[in-house]
Amino acid sequence: MAILHEGAIPVRPRARAATLLFALIVTLIVAPAARAEVEHPRQQWLRDSTAGLFLHWGMFTAPRHLDCAAWERDVTEGGWTADYWVDEARKLGASYIVLATFHSRLGYARPWPSEIPGSCATKRDLLGELVTAGKAKDVRIILYMTDDPQWHNEQGVETLDSAAYSAYKGRQVDLTTRAGFGMYSYDLFFEVMEKYQDLAGFWIDNDNDYWEQNKLYEQIREKRPSWLLSNNNEDTPIMDTVSNEQKTGMTPAYDYPQAAWTPMPRLVEADYKLPTTGDWWYDGGNHPVDVRLSTGRYITNAGSSMKSLMAETPMVNGRFPPQQEAFNAFMSTWVPPIKESLQGTEGGGYMYGGMRPGFWNDGAHGVITVSRDGAKVQYVHVVTRPSTDMVRLRDNGYRVTRVSDLRTGEQMRFSQSGGHLSILGITRWDQYDTVFKVETADRQHFYDQSTLKATASSSREGHPATALVDGSFQDYWDSDAQLPVSVTLDLGRARKASYLAVNQREWSPTYARETFGRPEDSARIKDYRVYVSDDGKRWGAPVRAGALPSARGVQAIDLGEQHARYIKLEVLNTWAGPQAPRFVRQLQIDEIQVAHGYPLSPATPVPLEAERQQRSGAARLAPCAACSGGAQVTGLGGGSRNAITYREVTVAAAGDHRLQIDHTTAAATSLSVSVNGAAPIKAAVIGDNAAVPADTALSVPLRAGANTITVFSDAAKGPGVDRIAVAPLPPTSYVPKTTMTVDPSGLQWAGPGQQSLKVSATLRLDVEDALDQVELAPAVPAGWTVEGGPATAATMRLGQTLEGTWTLTSPPGQDVASADIPIRASFQVLGRPNTVTRQLRVRLRPADRVFMREAEDSRNQLGSAGITNCGPCSGGQKVRNLGGGPDAYVLFENVTVDTARQYTLYIDFTVNGERSYFVTVNGEPPIEVKVSGVGNNTPYTTSVPITLRAGANTIKVHNDTATAPDLDRLSLG
C-alpha cells in the first residue's frame, strides 16, 4: 500500500524521460489494443462480483518480528490456516482475496518458498495453501506486489539483502534503489507465474521504471493471459482494474464513488479500511468497525459498478481481531437477503440504464443497481432513509409496473408522474439499506438516438458532438476547454420535447477536496441555459436557465411543453475552479437524450398534491406534465380569496416542521402560507418556466395530528402550485454544503512594521437548500482595521456565489503580531442561523528572511501538483506529487526584493530517501538541488544561492523527469 494513502492522485507521473517516450509510442502505435483491455473476457468473474478482501499481513504484523524464521514459526504455531481466510471472505460476500505480504512496511516478506534471495521468504508455502483453499471454495487469490524500496530499514534492521541478490545475479545490485528493487521484484513476478498457475493475478502498488522499460506487463499478458492486473491510483491502459485508495470526507461519508474519477466500463475498486482507526495492518489493537459507514460503502460502490476491496488486519496467527470477526458474521446474514441486487448487477443511472441515484426527498440518499437485461429490474437502495414515509426519485423514463421490498417481499404502493417514482407508505426500514425491487415494462417517450443530430460550438479533435447521440458511452464529446459552450440537437423536424437526460462523463470527483493530493473538483455542468428554435437561427429567450448539481449519474433538465426542431444547451461554466487545473474549463458528455413525455401511473396519488385539495376564488386546475399527478393549481394571485386549503396535513408531534412547496412560475413572485388560521408567512419564490416545478422551503409550526394549511399569493400574479410536502426540520447541526475560497489562503508571512493585506473570498452554495440573509466578511482582531463592507445576498441558490474583497491593516506603530483572522459567512437556513469559516493566519516573518511564502499559498501556481495536510509542516500543509513530468511544479510568482543581488534560497521540504528538485529563477537554466531524509512527515531545510533582480521575480520548483520531494515553503535570506 502506498504510504500516504490519502495523498494519492489518479495518474502518477512517470519517473523518466525514456518511460514517457515509451508510453507515447505505445499510445500512438497500439492504442486499439490498449483500449481493448478496458473490457476483456478474463475480467468477467470480477465484473460479476461485489467485493474483495484485502489482507496486509507480514513480518511486521504486531508483535513485529525481525527474523523471518521466527515469524514463520509463530504463524504456524499460532494455528494459521488458509481456510479461515477464505471462509471469512465468503462471509463478506467477497469473491477474491488480495494478499499484501510483500509490502514495503511489512518487511518485504514473501509467503512462499523462493529460490531468489533478497528478502524474507517462508519455507512453508502459505501462498500455495491459500490459492488451493480459495479454488476449492470459488474465492480467487491475487498477490500484492510493491514497487517501493524506501522503507527497507524502517525498523532499524535491513530487510533487503543486496549482497545475496547480487551474488544470485552475478552482478552488483543495490536493492535499496528503485532500479535495483525493480530488477529484484521483476524476477519475483516470473517466479510466481511459474509456481502458481491458479493465482488470479497481481495487485500492483504503482509502477517501477524497470518493470515498464522491460515490458513486464506485456510479458504477464503473454504468459498468463487469464490473470488480472490492478494498479493502485493509476489508470494504466494495460491494467484491468483501477483501485481508488482510502478516500474520505464525502457527504454522506459512505458515498465512496464521489471520489472516483474513472468512467465505466473501466473496472474500478474502492480500496478502504474496515477498522475505523489504526493502520492498514494489525498494530495490536482491536479497532472498531463502523457498520454504518462500511455497509454504506459496500452498497454505494455496487451502485456505481465499483468493487469494494475491504481491508482487514489479520493477526500473526491469521485470525482477525474480535470486532472485525463480528462484522464479518453480521455481513454473512445481512447480505444474503439482498444478494440478487448486488451480484451480477450494474450501477444504475449510468451507461447501463436505470433511474437517478444520489440525493432524493426529505434527506434520503441512495443508489440504483440494475439487471443486465436492459434495466427491466432495478433495485432502489435507500441507504439514508428520508424523514418521511415515502421515497421519491427521478425515474429516467422507466415505466414502473411493480414495487416490492426485497427483504420482506411486501408489495409497495407507488405513484409515477412528472418524471418521478414515489414509493409510498413505507413502514419497515432496514437500519443500513432498505432495498426496493422495481420491475419496469420499458423506457418510454425517448426519441431514438439515431434520428437525432448534434453539433457544438467547440469540440476537441477525436471527440465530436456526434458522440452525444451515437448511443455509445464509450465515445464522448469534449468541449476542447471552451466555456461558455453550446450543443445543438436537431430533432429532424418540429417535435414535442419535455426534458433532456444528460449523462456527463464520470471522469472527475464530484466535490472539492485538496487532501486527495491535489485540489480536485467536478468537471460537470453548473450554470446552463436551454433555447429552442424552429429554424436553428432564431432562438428567443431561454426556456430554462438554472444550475445542475455536482452529482454523478444521469441529470434531467425539464423543458416544459416545447414544440421545436432544434434544442440548444448552453453551458456557461462548470463546477471545477482554478484550484483544479486538470478539470477547470473541461467538459465531457457521454450522451444527451431527448424525451417527449413522462410515464404516468396516477392510480395511487402522491400525498398533498394541489389538484386534490380545496380551492377557492380564482384558483383553478391546470395541466402540467412535469408536475406530480400531471396537474397544478393556478390563479392564486390577488390575496387570500384565491387559495388552496390543505385540511389534513398530519404530523405525529407538535413543533416546527419543514414545509416544501413545489411551484411553477416564469418570473420571481411570492407565496403566503397560513397554518391553522395564524398570520401568514410570506416567502419569495423563483422560477424560469411556468410548466416546470421548482421548490421553496420554510419552517412552519404544526400541532400534533391534523393541521390546516392555506396557500395563496399577495402578488398580482402568483405562482402555480404543484404539491406540498411536510417533514421534520433537519438536525440543528445541519449546515448545507458550501465551498469557501480565500485569497491569499492559509498562512501569510508579513514583514516588519504596519502591514496591509488585500483579501478576497468567495462563497459557493453546493446543494439545493436555499440560504437566506447571507453575509460574508472578515472578523479582524482588536486594533486591526477593515476597508470594505460585508458582501451580502438576500438569498442564495444552488451554484450561486457571493464574493467580497477587503483591505486588512494591522495596528500602527508596531510589527504584526500573530493573528488568526476568520473569514466568516453567516446565513439562515429555514430560519436557523449558521456560519462557515476559513482562517487566514498572519505571522511575523523571521528577522533573517526578506521573503517567505508557503508552497500551498493560493498566489502560487501548482500545475498538476497538489496540496495535502502535514501537521509538522509550516502552515499545516505542503505540496506533494511534485515532479515526474513537466506539469507537476510549483511556480512562485511576484517574489519581490528591493535589490538585485545574490540571495540564499531556503527550501523547507519532506522526503523519504534521496531525490532532487530543480530550481528555475526567472526562466534561467535550472539548478539541481539534491536532498535526502527519512519520513514524509519530517520537515527538513536545505539552501541554494540564487540571483534575483530588483522587483518581482519568479521561482519555479520542479523536476521534469523524476519524482521530487514534497515542498513545505520557500524563503530568502
Contacts by residues 614-620 (CB-CB < 8 Å, ≥ 24 positions apart): 614/644, 614/645, 614/646, 614/647, 615/643, 615/644, 615/645, 616/641, 616/642, 616/643, 616/644, 616/645, 617/641, 617/642, 617/643, 618/642, 619/643, 619/644
pLDDT of residue 10: 34
The topology (CATH level 3) of 16-335 is TIM Barrel (3.20.20)
Task: Please give the mean pLDDT across all residues of the chain.
Answer: 93
**Separation CA 853–CA 895 (nearest Å):** 9
Rounded distance, CA 488 to CA 465, Å? 9
pLDDT of residue 913: 77
DSSP H or E stretch at residue 931: strand 927-933
Contact 553, 375 (CB under 8 A): no
pLDDT on residue 28: 32
Looking at residues 51-75, what average pLDDT do you find? 97
β-bridge pairing 888-897 and 951-958: antiparallel
Question: Does the structure show a pLDDT above 90 at 826?
Answer: yes
Instruction: Return the pLDDT at 287.
Output: 97
Every domain of the chain with CATH number 2.60.40.10 lies at: 730-844
> At 103, is the pLDDT very low, low, confident or very high (cuts 50, 70, 90)?
very high
Burial (CB count within 10 angstroms: exposed 0-12, middle 13-18, buried 19+), residue 321: buried
Confidence of residue 519 (pLDDT cuts 50, 70, 90): low
Name the fold adopted by 346-443: Immunoglobulin-like (2.60.40)
Class in CATH terms, 614-728: mainly beta
- Under the banding of pLDDT at 50, 70 and 90, the label for residue 444 is very high
Tens of pLDDT, residues 202-257? 999 888 889 999 999 999 999 999 999 998 878 888 999 999 888 888 899 999 99
448 by Cβ neighbours in 10 Å (0-12 / 13-18 / 19+) ranks as exposed
Instruction: Give how far the C-alpha of residue 701 lies from the chain's centroid of Cα atoms, to the nearest Å.
Output: 38
771, pLDDT greater than 80: yes
pLDDT of residue 207: 87
Return the C-alpha cell found at 466.
456526434
Residue 603 pLDDT class (50, 70, 90 cuts) = confident
Is residue 76 predicted with pLDDT exceeding 60?
A: yes
Average confidence (pLDDT) over 737-745: 92
pTM for the structure as a whole:
0.92
Please tell me the distance from the alpha carbon of residue 308 to that of residue 296, in angstroms, as a whole number. 11
Taken in order 663, 664, 665, 668, is the CA torsion positive or negative? positive
Q: How confident is the model at residue 8 (pLDDT cuts 50, 70, 90)?
A: very low
User: For the segment 880-901, what is each residue's pLDDT rounded down to a tens digit?
Assistant: 889 988 988 999 999 999 999 9
Q: Which ranges in the chain are annotated with CATH 3.20.20.80?
A: 16-335
CATH 2.60.120.260 domain range(s) in the chain: 449-595, 614-728, 847-973
Q: What is the pLDDT of residue 6?
A: 27
- pLDDT, residue 767, reads 94
Cα distances (angstroms) measured from residue 562 to each of 330, 395, 495, 569, 689: 52, 20, 8, 14, 11
The arithmetic mean of pLDDT across residues 610-618, rounded, is 96
Nearest CA among 869, 864, 870 for reference residue 882 = 864
Nearest to 452 by CA among 566, 587, 597: 566
**pLDDT tens digits for 304-361?**
999 999 999 999 999 999 999 999 999 999 999 999 999 999 999 999 999 999 999 9
Fold of 847-973: Jelly Rolls (2.60.120)
Residue 235 has a pLDDT of 86
Length of the chain: 973
Structure confidence by residue, pLDDT tens digits, 107-152? 999 999 999 999 999 999 999 999 999 999 999 999 999 998 988 9
What's the mean pLDDT in 746-756?
A: 93
Q: How confident is the model at residue 914 (pLDDT cuts 50, 70, 90)?
A: confident
Give the 3-state secondary structure of residue 15. Answer: coil
pLDDT value at residue 1: 37
Higher pLDDT, 261 or 293: 293
Residue 87: what are its φ and ψ, rounded to 5°?
-65, -40
Cα→Cα distances 687→7, 682, 800, Å: 42, 17, 15
- Would you state the pLDDT for residue 212? 92
Residues 106 and 101: their CA atoms lie apart, in Å, by: 7
- What is the third-level CATH fold of 730-844? Immunoglobulin-like (2.60.40)
Pairing of strands 267-273, 306-312: parallel
Residues 580-596: what's their mean pLDDT? Answer: 94
pLDDT single digits (tens) 523-537: 999 999 999 999 999
Q: Which residues of the chain form CATH 2.60.40.1180?
A: 346-443
pLDDT at 440 over 70: yes
Measuring CA to CA, which residue among 339, 247, 266, 252 is closest to residue 300? 252
Q: By the 8 A CB rule, do 429 and 435 touch?
A: no
Class of the CATH domain delimited by 449-595: mainly beta
Q: Which amino acid is at 76?
A: T
Split at pLDDT 50, 70, 90, the class of 11 is very low
Q: Rounded CA gap, 676 and 679, in Å?
A: 9
